Chain A
Amino acid sequence: QKEVEQDPGPLSVPEGAIVSLNCTYSNSAFQYFMWYRQYSRKGPELLMYTYSSGNKEDGRFTAQVDKSSKYISLFIRDSQPSDSATYLCAMSTSGNTGKLIFGQGTTLQVKP
């Protein structure tokens, strides 16, 4: 079993829809949680970064962490065609190496 599981999709939604992307994990020591967006043939771009449980909002994006369920989510409101990309979740423990464990990535397509 992988430490981090993420449904690869693809997920296709109409423009303006609310998108929910999710990851589950098995290691209860994970403390730091990230969401990256990756366009085709580009490097991942950091979208959201949270510590421990709770919610964080940035514009149209909301990240949620539920440590009791070992489950994290990224919500995208009013989705746009420019949101079409692969979304990667990543997480790490509180050690000092900074090693990240990534999910497989979910491919999202927002249709105009």
Chain B
Amino acid sequence: DGGITQSPKYLFRKEGQNVTLSCEQNLNHDAMYWYRQDPGQGLRLIYYSQIVNDFQKGDIAEGYSVSREKKESFPLTVTSAQKNPTAFYLCASTRQAGSDQPQHFGDGTRLSIL
């Protein structure tokens, strides 16, 4: 079945540690997105990529980094510079970037601090 796979489902980070969240899609979508979800705040955009080898900062990019070396993969690294990383992280994709394309989501990774 086609879809978006995020792994792991749960992740724990120690102080000063970088962690990487995986997002893979087999939908042949060009555009991919990373969101952070906190209780009572909805989803906020971290980074997005419209095409391979290109990505743009979203509204809350500080403390995060991404890469887009392959069309199907868009990993997110939460660096030690992100002082409040505890949240639910969601990856989404669309066939191509553009407002007439609804975004489809994976089932998220929950990141917590040890």
Contacts and interface: CB of A to CB of B under 8 A. Distances in A.
7 contacts: A43-B90, A46-B103, A97-B50, A97-B56, A98-B31, A99-B58, A104-B40
Interface size class of A (residues with CB under 8 A): 20 to 34
Contacts, number: 68
Given A32-B100, A88-B42, A98 B107 contact: no
Interface in B1-52: 4, 6, 31, 33, 40-45, 48, 50
Q: Is the interface of A mostly helix, strand, loop or mixed?
A: loop
Given A32-B100, A46-B104, A51-B100, A98 B48 contact: yes
Given A43-B6, A98-B103, A99-B48, 19 more contacts: A4-B42, A34-B102, A41-B107, A43-B105, A43-B107, A46-B104, A94-B99, A95-B99, A96-B98, A97-B56, A98-B33, A98-B48, A98-B94, A98-B97, A98-B99, A100-B103, A103-B42, A104-B41, A105-B42
